[in-house]
Every structure is written in C-alpha cells, then in structure tokens.
Amino acid sequence: MPTRDDVGHSISIAEEKALLDACKASRSRSLYPAVVLALNTALRYSDIRLLQWKQVDLDGGFIRVGKSKTVYSTDRVAWLNANARAAMSDWSLQFPTRQVEHFVFPSERYGQPRSSVTRVTYNINVNKPIGTFKTAWKAAKKAAGVKCRFHDLRHTACTRMLEAGIPLSVVASVMGWSPATTTRMAKRYGHIGQEAQQKAVESIAVN
C-alpha cells in the first residue's frame, strides 16, 4: 500500500496551550512530560514510550535515540530545547533513585479518589515501560477540545521548524528521515518553503 502523505494535522499555539493544560490536570502524571517531549523534539511515540534514563543527558541537553522505526532514526541525537529540557528535568525529580537502565516513563497505575483531587500513583515498575498513554491522552484531548493524534505532535514540530526557515536537510536530520522519505516530505511540505524561496531569489537582484 502506498504511503499517504496527505494525512497529518499541525496544532495551533492556542490548541497546544489547551492541550498541555489538560495534560497537567490528567490523572497520568507522565502524560504532560511525554507530550512536551513529543512537541519539542519530534520524537516518535514508541521512542518516547521506550526511553530509558541512560539515553537522557540533561547536562548535555540531548537524548540518544535507541532502536527506532528506521535505521536513519536509530542511534541519532535528539536535542532538547528549553521547554523539553525543563519538562525532563522536573520529571527526573520524581525518580531520585533512578538507575540508567530504568525506563523514563515506567509502568504504573493511577487513581483519584472521589473525595480528593490528589493524584494517587501506585504499582510503579521502573523496569517496565508504560504500556500506553492512550486512555489519558484521549481524556486530555477531550478536556482541551483538541482533535489530533499523538503523531500529529511530531507533524507539528516539523511544520514549525520549516515555517521558521530551517533548511529541509536539517529538519530531515532532526526527524530521522531516510533519503526517500525526505524526498517525499519535500513535496508534502513544499508549500511552507515557497515564501522562503521567493525571498531567496529576491536577494539575488542587484539594486
């Protein structure tokens, strides 16, 4: 089946704020840092879910991606911007005794008694990754009134980089695209670069 390039939704700044506010209020304490990480690094869902602390360098400000969807994504460096770095630093404080082999987003259960607004986290297993963010993610989207897939966070990151004028070759490296995917995505996102291309040729003219 041919790959579809017409799917994807880039969320707006307002939608991002509403979504992040809903994630903060989620019973799942891991949802907020996971979503911030996706929005600010363009990491894939599986790369985030299976992340271990040995891959995270908070001092250096980067994540070393492990085995990923493609050979071009595997073992690459994902840099942390200020938002991602702050979220990951705060999240790390939840695990003061963490070991390098522990999962960043471990398997755990959540509860919120009817008589209290306090989140209750239990059955934490740092040696096992969280199974899914699906239930918490769905609830957060509904609360925020935002319609998107988790993968659209990656699409949003890509769109914003291109709109900021970052060269496609650099964006491709950040995204972990193969050469074939880069060529395909050049067509998909080509409209974003049209204004930059126009400015580029205007710069050639001699006054």
**With left for phi above 0 and alpha for psi between -120 and 50, is residue 128 left, alpha or beta?**
beta
pLDDT greater than 90 at residue 80: yes
pTM to 2 decimals?
0.85
CA distances for 35 relative to 6, 41, 81, angstroms: 23, 10, 14
| Nearest Cα residue to 192 out of 159, 170, 167, 169 | 159
Q: What angle do CA 87, 77, 170 make, to 5 degrees?
A: 105
Which is higher by pLDDT, 156 or 75?
156
Which is higher by pLDDT, 77 or 118?
77
Contact between 61 and 85 (Cβ < 8 Å)? yes
Give dist(CA 115, CA 128) in Å, integer: 31
Contact between 162 and 192 (Cβ < 8 Å)? yes
Which is higher by pLDDT, 48 or 3?
48
The pLDDT, as a whole number, for residue 5 is: 43
Region 49-56: mean pLDDT is: 96
Which is higher by pLDDT, 113 or 90?
90
Structural domains of the chain ordered from first start: 13-148 (1.10.443.10)
User: Band of the pLDDT at 111, cuts 50, 70, 90?
Assistant: confident
